[in-house]
């Protein structure tokens, strides 16, 4: 079975632009979470979705938004990009969210120039 | 806000030596999970601890959850070069947010 897949793998944007990152969970997993990992730090929780509903939100500005589709895939959108948004964006899936173990994808490396 | 701290930040050991990383939370955790991230890779789930005082073993790895559910540790016996990576603890506090610790980067010299 395929693991969590994310696209694109790398992305270069300039300040002020908008970006959409995509994630497909493991088959059968209904929950998707998004994390931001800056080099040398631990992943920071951004959102968790379960059955298309937002179940958790981290301390990120409103420029960050996400949604989950009926097939359980998900998109993370970031508007008005700042230099500080440069990071590895990780998607993780789990069966039902909550406290369950997270299965991570390889991430999208976003660079802001 | 809720924070999860880990010590040490870095640890260099000779192959065959033991290694321990400690995880501390300012408030009581619902559960604690441990992940390993190899250089250039993504976090990989190792184990989850839920009960106060719980101890779990996976081959050379021993995980403990404190009695007060505010701290945890991961101990590796007789490290190998394949153990290289960053070890993160991650906890939840009665919400669906998983809060990752600051991580301990382990380097093993042959």
* Chain B hits for A38, Cβ within 8 Å: none
* Chain B hits for A3, Cβ within 8 Å: none
Contact B36, B20 (CB under 8 A): no
Given a cut of 70, whether residue B55 has pLDDT beyond it is yes
CA distance A53 to A27: 18
* Chain B hits for A105, Cβ within 8 Å: 42
pLDDT of residue B1: 65
Contact between A42 and B1 using a beta-carbon 8 Å cutoff = no
* Chain B hits for A58, Cβ within 8 Å: 97
Given a cut of 90, whether residue B97 has pLDDT beyond it is no
The whole-number average pLDDT for the span B85-110 is 92
Q: Does B40 touch chain A (CB under 8 A)?
A: no
Give me chain A's average pLDDT, please: 95
3-state secondary structure of A85: helix
CA distance A68 to A34: 11
Q: Does B24 touch chain A (CB under 8 A)?
A: no
Contact B74, B62 (CB under 8 A): yes
pLDDT of residue B2: 72
Return the structure tokens found at A5.
């897949």
Residues 51-80 of chain B whose Cβ lies under 8 A from any Cβ of chain A: none
The whole-number average pLDDT for the span A105-112 is 97
Buried (b) or exposed (e) across B4-24, using 16+ Cβ within 10 A?
A: bebeeeebeeeeeeebebbbb
A&B contacts, CB < 8 Å: 56
Contact between B88 and A43 using a beta-carbon 8 Å cutoff = yes
Contacting residues for A88 by C-beta, under 8 A, at least 6 apart: A36, A37, A38, A39, A107, A108, A109, A110
Contact between B100 and A44 using a beta-carbon 8 Å cutoff = yes
Read off the pLDDT band of A1 (50, 70, 90): low
Q: Does B102 touch chain A (CB under 8 A)?
A: yes
């Amino acid at each position: 079975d395929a693991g969590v897949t994310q696209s694109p793998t790398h992305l270069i944007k300039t300040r002020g632009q908008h970006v959409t990152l995509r994630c497909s969970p493991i088959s059968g997993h209904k929950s998707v979470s998004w994390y931001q990992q800056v080099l040398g730090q631990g992943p920071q929780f951004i959102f968790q979705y379960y059955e298309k509903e937002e179940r958790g939100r981290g301390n990120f500005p409103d420029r960050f938004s996400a949604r989950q589709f009926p097939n359980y895939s998900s998109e993370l959108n970031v508007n008005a990009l700042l230099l500080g948004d440069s990071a590895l964006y990780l998607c993780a899936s789990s069966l039902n969210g909550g406290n369950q173990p997270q299965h991570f994808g390889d991430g999208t490396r976003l660079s802001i120039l | 806000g809720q924070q999860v701290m880990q010590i040490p930040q870095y640890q260099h050991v000779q192959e065959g030596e033991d290694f321990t990383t400690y995880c501390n939370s300012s408030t009581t955790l619902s559960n604690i999970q441990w992940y390993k991230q190899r250089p250039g890779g993504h976090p990989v789930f190792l184990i989850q601890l839920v009960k106060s005082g719980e101890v779990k073993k996976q081959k050379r790895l021993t995980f403990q959850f404190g009695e007060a559910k505010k701290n945890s540790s991961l101990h590796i016996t007789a490290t190998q070069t394949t153990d290289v990576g960053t070890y993160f603890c991650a906890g939840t506090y009665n919400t669906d947010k998983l809060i990752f610790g600051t991580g301990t980067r382990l380097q093993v010299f042959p």
